[in-house]
Amino acid sequence: MSSKLLGERIKRKEDPRLIQGRSHYVDDIQLCGMLYLAFVRSPHAHAEIKAIHSEAAQKMPGVLAVYTGADLEGRLGLIPCAAGMEGLKVPPHPCLALRRVRYVGEPVAVVVASGRYQAVDAAAQVEVDYEPLPAITDLDKAVSSDSPVIHESLGDNIAFVAKLEGGDWKAVESDASLKVIRQRLVNQRLAPLSMETRGVVASYSPGEDTLTVWSSTQIPHLLKTQLAVMTGMDEARVRVIAPEVGGAFGSKLNVYAEEGVACFVSRQFGKPVKWIESRRENLMATIHGRDQIDDLEIYFRPDGKVMGLKCHILANLGAYHQLLTPAIPTLTALMILGCYNIPAVFVETKGVFTNTMSTDAYRGAGRPEATYIIERVMDMVARELNLDPVEVRLKNFPPPGKDIVLATGVSYDTANYQKTLKKVLTLSGYKKLRREQARLRKKGKYLGIGLSTYVEICAMGPSSRMPAGGWESGTVRVEPTGKVTVLSGTSPHGQGEETSFAQIVAEELGVPYDDVTVYHGDTNQVPMGIGTFGSRTTAVGGTAIYHAAQRIKKKMARLAAVKLGAKPSELVFRDGKIETEDGSKSVKFGEVVGEAYFAKQLPPGLAPGLVENYVFEPPNYTYPFGAHVAVVEIDNETGEVNLRNYFAVDDCGRILNPMLVDGQIHGGLAQGIGQALWEEHVYDENGQLLTGTLMDCAAPRAHQFCWFETANTETRTPVNPLGVKGVGEAGTIGSTPAIVNAVMDALRPLGVRHIDMPLKPEKIWQVLRGGSPQVV
């Protein structure tokens, strides 16, 4: 049996339990004596709370208590924000609103009852008197000096202003030969929409004085620390378990009010407490993504070389900071030059409070916004100069190489943007498509071909540049029977690392894949780690495990060397054996394991047992890249867009399991295309959420997509020994601009430069009939 596992298409270890309905998501956890929570939420975007009448609710059957913000004040800590940037204004963010509500859906009170239905019934009976205040949802208005202020103690609605500058702006601005385009791009608000909503079970045992929390989270370890701080408990007595998590996309990379309240209530009653978010709550009160206005100035030469990019970003933060809220738009600034060598850059980012739910990390988190900006820039320049967008991109790519430093100061690990572009042009039959387009245009039909050549920042990241640590931990333990247990500090929830981590360890140790079991998500079981987000799990967490496996190998090789009379460095691990390269001297893996545990003849200085831990601190981020081509057809009467073809060539570094990589790319594409064409999460001018159910908030369905044609190039990163860059967000980042570029390309004969997303048919129809696109 060959143990060649890495790079193979291997079926997932996770699946048998999931396809049989035998796994456990948080709502599947049933504990004896469970209490249920239901939250009373504000219907107002901005209002003073005058009074809360909970007497009727308290008298309802099964109701044990009703708590308000005032009841929790001083007894339960505030919701934390980990982003620590200079001059950042951080408003207090209590778990239940105090005196004032600032967004629709903000929790105002909580009902504790012995049944799920009873809790909901009673919550409906809590009456709150509000004195409405003017709501602010418009970013331009929110930053104006006469705007009402959302947090009065902060003076205005601007949470921070961050600047990023590089290159010689004087030269750019004084160069009269340069052309200039000024354009505003709106990157609309989205709902992350994991299929499983949030949920938490908190169980406090008064006897042991321990708190166990099951939460649908991406960050069990960080959550544990924060819940200890919020509840005032000894952190060593708090345990957080991320059970099966039904999707997250960044939305569960957070510490939420309901988690804090559930812990508080469980401690009050000494009983387990459950709260499961309804979809309506999920749309109101789970973080949203994107929501930026980007005002651009693009300076470029007549040959298509872009010389300078200025961008003023207004980032809608929502009413409060959640865990990473203000950090997200700063990633936009960092990645705004994409994969182009543009000599001068200036970005000013204003983070703005509004009467809406907080924005925070949603798949891509700041980088899709950057990629959208720069990829639209390339197409707008091409259009202005009547050049092929391929030509403009080639003109602006840096040459292939390593450690490429751009004007933003970002240093890209490895790059070969020409290679992926070339490959996608071949894959898509680009030249042929252009000929088809020309033919159809003569017939008055609109076919659009859109390109996107993106680079993203992944494998988050060096701790020096992360809000709460960027390292990751891994433990490999060879059990006495020779089976292998892997513990990861990351917390995957669908990405499939139980499989890819087992591949790494089985490959390294030369043991059967089926003999390796991976655990994660339980803070009492696995070593402290950071979590799963930022396309980091395999690149950072997998590397930690890889190193831990190396340590095991080193130890086992020393044991085997004694047995075989060989040097440890001569030995290889394969096919369940430890042997010399030529196979002449060989010992069974299990035999060496026995040596380690029975510890009869250990070489001096070697401790018994086979457990190794490793904490990996990445020296840099990784920078995966890719090139996408989208082909769309537009109904020239109604403006409906039909996605005809999609081609994606992605380079996520070394591929450990191509099936998993494809899955990540496909899912990412669907979300990115969704943003371009259908998705938007909309507040009206009074701060009412208009897309409050899935009847109005569109999530794309199977029949809306074409077949995705995908391919890869593999440019390994030197940042980690696996050569892995990360792939979780690539599809989302690359696809949004490809689609918008395709639609704008289709409409090119009509002379329109830009339409904001989502590209709903009505906006396109308005262009088709000769108008300018209106916001609808």
Contact between 274 and another protein per CB under 8 A: no
- Which residue among 237, 588, 666, 748 contacts another protein (CB under 8 A)? 666
Contact between 67 and another protein per CB under 8 A: no
For residues 555 and 760, which CB has a smaller minimum distance to another protein in the complex?
760
**Which of these ranges, 219-227, 260-268, 365-373, 664-672, lies near another protein under the rule CB under 8 A?**
664-672
Q: How far is the CB of 203 from another protein (least distance, A)?
A: 18
Q: Which two tokens stand for residue 536?
A: 């980091």
Contact between 520 and another protein per CB under 8 A: no
CB 459 within 8 A of CB 725: yes
Question: Of 705-724, which residues contact another protein (CB under 8 A)?
Answer: 705, 707-708
Q: Are strands 577-580 and 411-415 parallel, antiparallel or unpaired?
A: unpaired
CB 703 within 8 A of CB 641: no
Contact between 114 and another protein per CB under 8 A: no
- Which residue among 117, 152, 403, 405 contacts another protein (CB under 8 A)? 117
CA separation for the pair 579, 572 (Å, rounded): 5
For residues 1 and 195, which CB has a smaller minimum distance to another protein in the complex?
195
CA separation for the pair 340, 417 (Å, rounded): 9
Question: Of 723-742, which residues contact another protein (CB under 8 A)?
Answer: 731
Contact between 91 and another protein per CB under 8 A: no
Sign of the dihedral through C-alpha 266, 224, 531, 465: positive
- Which residue among 24, 99, 179, 435 contacts another protein (CB under 8 A)? 24
Residue corresponding to tokens 């600032």: 102
Contact between 613 and another protein per CB under 8 A: no
Contact between 690 and another protein per CB under 8 A: yes
Contact between 640 and another protein per CB under 8 A: yes
**Which of these ranges, 84-92, 241-249, 455-463, 517-525, lies near another protein under the rule CB under 8 A?**
241-249
CA separation for the pair 746, 489 (Å, rounded): 47
The set of residues, in sequence order, having a beta carbon less than 8 Å from that of 647 and lying 6+ positions away, is 424, 427, 428, 628, 629, 630, 708, 709, 710, 711
Q: How far is the CB of 733 from another protein (least distance, A)?
A: 14
Q: What is the residue type of 745?
A: D
Residue corresponding to tokens 């190794």: 612
Strand order in the sheet with 446-455: 446-455, 625-634, 641-651, 708-712
Q: What ranges make up the beta strands (E) of 456-514?
A: 472-478, 484-488
Q: Which two tokens stand for residue 347?
A: 């970005």
For residues 104 and 548, which CB has a smaller minimum distance to another protein in the complex?
104
Q: How far is the CB of 693 from another protein (least distance, A)?
A: 5
CB 675 within 8 A of CB 758: yes
Size of the site for another protein (CB under 8 A): 91
Contact between 116 and another protein per CB under 8 A: yes
Neighbour count for residue 667 (Cβ, 10 Å): 18
Question: Strand, helix or coil at 653?
Answer: strand
For residues 15 and 403, which CB has a smaller minimum distance to another protein in the complex?
15
Contact between 244 and another protein per CB under 8 A: yes
Beta bridge partners of 290: 189
* 74: alpha, beta or left? (left if phi > 0; alpha if psi -120 to 50): left
- Which residue among 318, 529, 667, 773 contacts another protein (CB under 8 A)? 667
Contact between 542 and another protein per CB under 8 A: no
Contact between 43 and another protein per CB under 8 A: yes
Helix 389-396 / helix 367-385 crossing angle, nearest 10 deg = 120
- For residue 540, what is the enclosing H or E element? none
Contact between 638 and another protein per CB under 8 A: yes
- Which residue among 603, 637, 642, 714 contacts another protein (CB under 8 A)? 637
Contact between 514 and another protein per CB under 8 A: no
Contact between 776 and another protein per CB under 8 A: yes
For residues 11 and 554, which CB has a smaller minimum distance to another protein in the complex?
11
Question: Of 283-342, which residues contact another protein (CB under 8 A)?
Answer: 283-284
Contact between 111 and another protein per CB under 8 A: no
Residue corresponding to tokens 């620390």: 225
CA separation for the pair 63, 36 (Å, rounded): 9
* 401: alpha, beta or left? (left if phi > 0; alpha if psi -120 to 50): left
DSSP-derived secondary structure letter, 28: G
Contact between 19 and another protein per CB under 8 A: yes
For residues 545 and 660, which CB has a smaller minimum distance to another protein in the complex?
660
Contact between 442 and another protein per CB under 8 A: no
Contact between 702 and another protein per CB under 8 A: yes
CA separation for the pair 589, 15 (Å, rounded): 28
CA separation for the pair 322, 79 (Å, rounded): 7
For residues 46 and 93, which CB has a smaller minimum distance to another protein in the complex?
46
Contact between 592 and another protein per CB under 8 A: no
Contact between 132 and another protein per CB under 8 A: yes
For residues 343 and 492, which CB has a smaller minimum distance to another protein in the complex?
492
Question: Of 484-503, which residues contact another protein (CB under 8 A)?
Answer: 493-496
Contact between 583 and another protein per CB under 8 A: no
Please choose, from the candidates 143, 496, 187, the residue with its C-alpha nearest in 3D space to the C-alpha of residue 365.
187
Contact between 696 and another protein per CB under 8 A: yes
Contact between 249 and another protein per CB under 8 A: yes
Question: Of 204-223, which residues contact another protein (CB under 8 A)?
Answer: none
Contact between 272 and another protein per CB under 8 A: no
Contact between 686 and another protein per CB under 8 A: yes
Q: Which two tokens stand for residue 370?
A: 């950057």
CB 264 within 8 A of CB 45: no
CA separation for the pair 185, 364 (Å, rounded): 18
**Which of these ranges, 75-83, 406-414, 442-450, 756-764, lies near another protein under the rule CB under 8 A?**
756-764
Q: What ranges make up the beta strands (E) of 339-491?
A: 344-353, 401-405, 411-415, 446-455, 472-478, 484-488
- Which residue among 106, 121, 259, 369 contacts another protein (CB under 8 A)? 121
Beta bridge partners of 516: 484
Contact between 148 and another protein per CB under 8 A: no
Contacts with another protein, 172-201, as mask; x by CB under 8 A: ---------------------xxxxx----
